[in-house]
Amino acid sequence: MRIAFIGLGNMGSGMAANQAKAGREIVAFDLSSEALARAQEQGMTPAVSAREAVNDADVVITMLPAGDHVRSVYAEAILPHAPKDALLIDCSTIDVDSARTVARDASMQGFRTAAAPASGGTAAAAAGALTFMVGCREQDFAEIESALKPMAKAVIRAGDSGAGQAAKICNNMLLGISMVGVSEAFALAEGLGLDAQKFYDIASQASGQCWSLTSYCPWPGPVPAAPSNRDYEGGFAAAMMLKDLKLAQEAADISGAPTPLGGAAEALYSEMVERGFGQKDFSFILQMLRGRP
């Protein structure tokens, strides 16, 4: 299987490496020359443009920052230059409208497409243990599942076009809220004189347990793989979390769903980005709450 992989950032680099490890032929492209050099070291073929990457692809996978990037790469490179029988899978987290527009344009030109946003963070991307939420036609799902398999713990079809993004937006609103909650709990524990590790040992075995605590702990120490142990670098940027929380609030406005805590999380991440910490991992919200940046 020949895969064009576009977007080799914090997530895409690990994802593409797992495809290469599974023996698939990867032609990779990113705007960053360092990312391309890393891909070459891992056995992938670097392309000089997205257009060149997709030329002979059986599958095109994109892992780009936001809807604008996906729309432009699709319009300028993928739709005009990929073979018409290529399977197009966008794994980026983007707004439902961009996902539906890209899928509509692609299917009008005869392509099979899927939006398959991923959950799990950079550690799961590197370990090939992401959860993919797929919006696609039912008859295309088996092929999409097999294409995503080397990067996945689970591949779940959420429904038709747009459903994968809808599931991802709801999931990440929950993640943003839970990270703020865990951070507030650590800040309060500190204020009450509790040892942070002791609090972790107790909460991780009690009803406060959640992914933000036990897989991605914002307090440095208890979870060695978490970005809090590397000065909050190289994880899921706060600016990206803010993007997702804004997408959730827009979707809530349109659908009339009540999301008061989603709104509060959006306000806190807006403040973090305005204060210049948009490129820090989103778990850095703990340090902002503690007044420590």
Positions annotated as catalytic residues are 168
- Does 236 help bind ligand NAD (rule: CB under 6 A)? yes
Q: Are strands 118-119 and 130-135 parallel, antiparallel or unpaired?
A: antiparallel
Per CB under 6 A, the list member of 18, 93, 161, 183 interacting with ligand NAD is 93
Smallest CA-to-CA distance from 93 within 203, 168, 176 is with 168
- Does 71 help bind ligand NAD (rule: CB under 6 A)? no
- Does 183 help bind ligand NAD (rule: CB under 6 A)? no
- Does 18 help bind ligand NAD (rule: CB under 6 A)? no
- Does 121 help bind ligand NAD (rule: CB under 6 A)? yes
DSSP, residue by residue, 96-143: HHHHHHHHHHHHHTT-EEEE--EESHHHHHHHT-EEEEEES-GGGHHH
- Does 30 help bind ligand NAD (rule: CB under 6 A)? yes
First to last CA, the chain: 47
Give the nearer residue to ligand NAD in terms of CB position, either 118 or 134: 118
Among 30-38, 106-114, 152-160, 201-209, which window interacts with ligand NAD (CB under 6 A)? 30-38
Give the nearer residue to ligand NAD in terms of CB position, either 118 or 203: 118
- Does 12 help bind ligand NAD (rule: CB under 6 A)? yes
Token pair of 263 as six digits: 């709104």
Among 114-122, 178-186, 199-207, 255-263, which window interacts with ligand NAD (CB under 6 A)? 114-122
Token pair of 288 as six digits: 């902002």
Count Cβ neighbours within 10 Å for each residue of 276-292 and write b for 16 or more, e otherwise. ebbebbbbbbbbbbeee
Instruction: Assess contact for 57 and 86: CB atoms under 8 A.
Output: yes
Smallest CA-to-CA distance from 94 within 262, 240, 221 is with 240
Per CB under 6 A, the list member of 3, 60, 64, 152 interacting with ligand NAD is 64
Instruction: Assess contact for 115 and 103: CB atoms under 8 A.
Output: yes
Count of residues of this chain found to bind ligand NAD when the rule CB under 6 A is applied: 27
Per CB under 6 A, the list member of 3, 4, 5, 8 interacting with ligand NAD is 8
Least separation in angstroms between residue 272's CB and ligand NAD is 16
Question: 44: which DSSP letter?
Answer: P
Q: Which amino acid is at 228?
A: S
- Does 179 help bind ligand NAD (rule: CB under 6 A)? no
- Does 156 help bind ligand NAD (rule: CB under 6 A)? no
Instruction: Assess contact for 53 and 45: CB atoms under 8 A.
Output: no
User: Which residues are near ligand NAD by CB under 6 A?
Assistant: 6-12, 29-32, 35, 50, 63-65, 69, 73, 92-93, 118-119, 121-122, 235-236, 240
